A and B are shown apart, each in its own frame.
Chain A
Amino acid sequence: MMKNKTARIILYVVLTVCAAVLQTARGTRIEVMGVSPDMLVSIIVAVGFFDGPYIAGSLGLFAGVLCATSSSWPEGLPALFLALCGVLCGVTGKRYFRSYAVASILVALVLIFVRGLIDYVFYYQMVYSAPFGSMLLKTLVKTAISAPLSVLCVFAVSLINRRFPERRD
């Protein structure tokens, strides 16, 4: 049981690092209207649904610290957001949702939108007095372009989860 769990965690960490690298590196970063998609939220949410709040929370914390340098948020805040996302999805997922994959995608998109709102609408509007409409549009674009990648991330997490299942002796 421990062996599969360790393999899963290692693969989740690898997936998170890959996503963090791909969404921030110059040559691989996709940009539409000045915004790039968010894959980390989708991974953390999917891990929360498939593997519960502890692994998802820890992974969220790790992902938040990992991407702190490339985030406009104050340090610690991305980690807090992602860790709480993981815990929330881990707690609610098993209780309220049947299809983890579909739920993961939908919840991930909602959280990406929320993160976008915090990022663009609150931060840029409050600090730089950016126009609200334009910032809202950016948030919507970010959510839209994250959707296909979100499907891929959830699929990857579900694959890892199925390949290394929780054994009950």
Chain B
Amino acid sequence: MRDFFHSKLFVFILLILVICGGLMVLSAIMGGPSPFSNFFGSLLTPLQRLASAIGDKISSFTGYLYKYNSLVLENEQLKKELAEKRELEDDYYTLLNENEMLRELAGLKEEHPDYSMLPALVVSKPDNSLNVTFTLDKGTRDGVKKGDPVISGQGLVGYVSEVSYNHCEVTAITDMSSRISAAVSRTSETVVVEGTFELASKGLVRLSYLPVNCDLKNGDVIKTSGYGGIYPSGILIGEVVRIDVESHGMSNYAIVKPLTDFDSLVTVYVITDYGE
């Protein structure tokens, strides 16, 4: 035992005790980590950061392996839930549209009891800004014929220019080829509503060849006259927004804003028979 106290090992253990005791005292005096601890900590931190980054990469990769089955199940369940939700959403919008359509139809039926109307959905529109033609989801199988007038809840839309088995194409009243015999609601004066290239992009139509002394005012409502064979009488077209003199000065013209909003058109009614 006496040899031990004189041995190198005893001195070494004493040294350890002194160093460790010194560290404790230093830490207590400084009220926090000692400079040694700070130094080793600062060396260790970048290595720990690197190890964490590598560990994260590995665990994110291996996570796919050991979580694969649960992820597949979760994915399938979520897909199923999503499909159900989509179906519900689709049903909701279908019912909403149908409801709106039926409300409009009920109103129109009251207004025009002699009309046979077929509700139709606008399924496509041309990808230009003119919106002069569009396609409906009804065709010959539904009783649609070429030349049938098309109206919306607000007013006149156009006529069926082409018809196929399950769809048809409608030419709007704003189209350049459109010429409609109309009448001013207030005065019953007959006018011609026509589409022009310049106005089509703005969704407007024009009343041409108005006599200079024509009794027309801004806000006057224009409706179909029933002459010309395509459109029945009394369907609202739009209202006058501007009256001006033609460039040659012999007559006036007016700009009419259609009551139908062609940009938001979804549901329309094809008049398959109007009893004339």
Chain A interface residues (CB < 8 Å from chain B): 17, 20-22, 24-29, 53-54, 57, 61, 64-66, 68-69, 74-77, 79-80, 83-84, 87, 91
User: Any chain A CB within 8 A of the CB of B22?
Assistant: yes
A21 near B44 with CB under 8 A, answer yes
A residues less than 8 Å from B41 (CB atoms): 68-69
B44 near A20 with CB under 8 A, answer yes
Residue in A24, A27, A69, A76 whose beta carbon sits within 8 Å of that of B23 in the complex? A76
Give the distance in Å from the alpha carbon of A13 to the alpha carbon of B85 in the complex.
60
CB distance from B37 to the nearest CB of A (A): 5
Give the distance in Å from the alpha carbon of A87 to the alpha carbon of B49 in the complex.
32
A75 near B9 with CB under 8 A, answer no
User: Any chain A CB within 8 A of the CB of B265?
Assistant: no
Give the distance in Å from the alpha carbon of A21 to the alpha carbon of B19 in the complex.
23
* Chain A interface SS verdict (over half): helix
Count of A-B contacts judged by CB separation below 8 Å: 93
Give the distance in Å from the alpha carbon of A75 to the alpha carbon of B25 in the complex.
9
B residues less than 8 Å from A54 (CB atoms): 12
A76 near B22 with CB under 8 A, answer yes
Residue in A24, A27, A61, A66 whose beta carbon sits within 8 Å of that of B20 in the complex? A61
Give the distance in Å from the alpha carbon of A97 to the alpha carbon of B176 in the complex.
107
Asked if A77 meets B20 with Cβ closer than 8 Å, knowing A21-B44, A87-B13, the reply is: yes
B55 near A27 with CB under 8 A, answer yes
Asked if A75 meets B24 with Cβ closer than 8 Å, knowing A21-B48, A25-B51, A69-B33, the reply is: yes
A residues less than 8 Å from B36 (CB atoms): 65
Give the distance in Å from the alpha carbon of A44 to the alpha carbon of B27 in the complex.
24
B17-37 CB mask vs A (1 if < 8 Å, else 0) is 101111110110000011011
B55 near A26 with CB under 8 A, answer yes
Chain B interface residues (CB < 8 Å from chain A): 9, 12-13, 16-17, 19-24, 26-27, 33-34, 36-37, 40-41, 44, 47-49, 51-56, 58-59
CB distance from A101 to the nearest CB of B (A): 24
Asked if A79 meets B20 with Cβ closer than 8 Å, knowing A68-B37, A68-B40, the reply is: yes
B16 near A27 with CB under 8 A, answer no
B44 near A66 with CB under 8 A, answer yes
CB distance from B6 to the nearest CB of A (A): 16
- A-B contact sample (14 more), CB < 8 A, given A27-B51, A76-B21, A80-B20: A17-B44, A24-B44, A25-B47, A25-B51, A27-B54, A27-B56, A53-B12, A54-B12, A57-B13, A66-B44, A68-B33, A69-B41, A76-B22, A76-B23
B residues less than 8 Å from A20 (CB atoms): 44
Output the nearest chain B residue to A88 by Cβ-Cβ distance: B13
